[in-house]
Amino acid sequence: MNFKPMNFKLLMTALLLGTAQAAPLQDVSLALDWTPNVNHIGVYVAQQQGWYAQAGVKLRILPYGTASPEVLVTAGRADVGISGSESVTAAQVSANPVVSIAAILGTNTAAFAVLQRSAVTRPRQLDGKIYAAFGAPYEAPIVGRLIRSDGGQGTFKSPVLSAGGLSALLSGRADFMWIFEGTEGVEARRQGTPLRTFSMTKFGVPDYYTPVFVADPKGLNTTSPRLRAFLKATARGYEYARAHPKEAAALMLRALPKGTFPDPGVLTDGATWLSTHNAYARPGQPWGVQSLKVWTDFPAFLLKNGAVKDPQGKTVTKLEYAKLFTNELLR
Give me the CATH number covering residue 295.
Answer: 3.40.190.10
Q: What is the average per-residue pLDDT within 45-53? A: 98
Secondary structure in 3-state letters for the chain: CCCCCCCHHHHHHHHHHHHHHHCCCEEEEEECCCCCCHHHHHHHHHHHCCHHHHCCEEEEEECCCCCCHHHHHHCCCCCEEEECHHHHHHHCCCCCCCEEEEECCCCCCEEEEEECCCCCCCHHHHCCCEECECCCCCHHHHHHHHHHHCCCCCCCECCECCCCHHHHHHHCCCCEEEEEHHHHHHHHHHCCCCEEEEECCCCCCCCCCCCEEEECHHHHHHHHHHHHHHHHHHHHHHHHHHHCHHHHHHHHHHHCCCCCCCCCHHHHHHHHHHHHCCCCCCCCCCCECCCCCHHHHHHHHHHHCCCCECCCCCECCCCCHHHHECCHHHC
Count of structural domains within the chain: 2
Tell whether the model's pLDDT for residue 6 goes beyond 70: no
> What integer best gives the mean pLDDT of the chain?
92
Specify whether the CB–CB gap between 133 and 158 falls below 8 A.
yes
Which tens digit of pLDDT belongs to each residue from 134-180? 888 999 999 999 999 999 999 999 987 766 788 889 999 999 999 99
CA 33/CA 55 separation, integer angstroms: 24
* pLDDT, position 3: 42
* pLDDT, position 66: 84
310 in the same domain as 175: no
Kindly report which listed range (14-23, 224-233, 287-296) carries the lowest average pLDDT score: 14-23
> 199, 221, 241: which is the final residue of a domain?
199
149 in the same domain as 216: no
Q: How confident is the model at residue 8 (pLDDT cuts 50, 70, 90)?
A: low
Nearest to 251 by CA among 233, 229, 231, 271: 271
> 135, 170, 199: which is the final residue of a domain?
199
pTM to 2 decimal places:
0.91
User: Sign of the C-alpha dihedral, residues 280, 284, 285, 287?
Assistant: positive
Domain-embedded: residue 12: no
230 in the same domain as 99: yes
CA 58/CA 47 separation, integer angstroms: 9
Tell whether the model's pLDDT for residue 107 goes beyond 80: yes
Tell whether the model's pLDDT for residue 14 goes beyond 50: no
176 in the same domain as 120: yes
Domain-embedded: residue 34: yes
307 in the same domain as 280: yes
Domain-embedded: residue 17: no
Nearest to 112 by CA among 127, 129, 131, 87: 131
Domain-embedded: residue 2: no
158 in the same domain as 241: no
Largest CA distance in the chain: 95
* pLDDT, position 221: 83
21-24 long-range Cβ contacts below 8 angstroms, 24+ apart: 23/56
302 in the same domain as 180: no
CA 144/CA 146 separation, integer angstroms: 5
326 in the same domain as 230: yes
* pLDDT, position 9: 53
Tell whether the model's pLDDT for residue 7 goes beyond 60: no
253 in the same domain as 318: yes
Domain-embedded: residue 33: yes
> 178, 199, 220: which is the final residue of a domain?
199
Range of the domain at 62: 23-106+209-330
* Partner residues linked to 59 by β-bridges: 28
* Cα 92 to the center of its chain, rounded Å: 18
240 in the same domain as 294: yes
Q: What is the average per-residue pLDDT within 212-232? A: 94
* pLDDT, position 165: 82
229 in the same domain as 98: yes
Specify whether the CB–CB gap between 166 and 184 falls below 8 A.
yes
Backbone phi and psi for residue 220, each to the nearest 5 degrees, phi listed first: -65, -30
288 in the same domain as 233: yes
Domain-embedded: residue 204: no
Nearest to 102 by CA among 11, 39, 173, 25: 39
Domain-embedded: residue 10: no
CA 224/CA 222 separation, integer angstroms: 6
CA 6/CA 3 separation, integer angstroms: 9
CA 57/CA 60 separation, integer angstroms: 9
Domain-embedded: residue 223: yes
Which tens digit of pLDDT belongs to each residue from 263-303? 999 999 999 999 999 999 988 889 999 999 999 999 999 99
* pLDDT, position 222: 85
